[in-house]
A = this chain, B = another copy of it.
């Protein structure tokens, strides 16, 4: 009931914003005067280096897969997921919890759900399943938040590196003022690092961190539905009671109406 798809608002939003800036540059002059290799290196590599100091190598390695998560989002519909749990609940009520074992292979793609169903099949009591899954959800969530903090940190570093690069350029320009005709172009180059830092921070890193934070909260809700469902099935509760339970954690417009 979950599927991967390109996250359109992420991809189109970023592309469109960059296209706007590129358009403004092209209509007002040449793109070439906005490219300066040392400035690019200071802002991009500098941001990576300074951000890296605050984290451990093992944490940084997770960053590409994190960015991947913002671009290729797991689309999960709470109603479908809740309905799936109620179907499993009915199956378990009719044929006994062990009947869920035959459904395990088709759940392989969903690590969390297959683990939850595995616990039911193993005959773990409902309260223990609730505790194990809740502790896993909370651990996953704080790990996600921690990974997102890498992007948030880099969004703060980028404009600061841009400012440092501009200060380097300004000091160099001011120390060599012999030829007034070079002041303009030199200052233009100096401002480029501020520009790169602002673009990187405002148009890429900050919104990316916002989207990842949003997705982490959504993933949290999805997993809570699985956990509530699995605990209810293990307690062999009435599926109607499960529906009622799920509806208290779902947003109003996403209520399940399985039995009506």
Contacts and interface: CB of A to CB of B under 8 A. Distances in A.
Contacts of A208: 53
Q: Count chain B CB atoms within 10 A of each CB in A14, A171, A194, A211 and give the residue with the most.
A: A171
Nearest to A14: B53
A178 to B, nearest CB: 9
A31 to B, nearest CB: 11
Contact of A53 (B10, B132, B176, B181): B10
Given A53-B14, A161-B202, A207-B53, A177 B184 contact: yes
A46 B25 contact: no
B12 A52 contact: yes
Contact of A160 (B16, B176, B188, B198): B198
Interface in A160-179: 160-161, 163-165, 167-177
Q: Count chain B CB atoms within 10 A of each CB in A56, A135, A183, A192 and give the residue with the most.
A: A56
Contacts of A195: 164, 167-168, 171
Interface string A7-41: 11110111011001101110111000110001001
A34 B164 contact: no
A140 B252 CA distance: 7
A55 B140 CA distance: 21
A65 interface: no
Given A55-B214, A160-B202, A177-B183, 10 more contacts: A21-B168, A24-B168, A27-B38, A28-B172, A50-B203, A54-B207, A55-B210, A160-B198, A167-B191, A173-B184
* Top 5 A-B pairs, shortest CB-CB distance: A54-B210, A177-B184, A53-B207, A13-B53, A174-B188
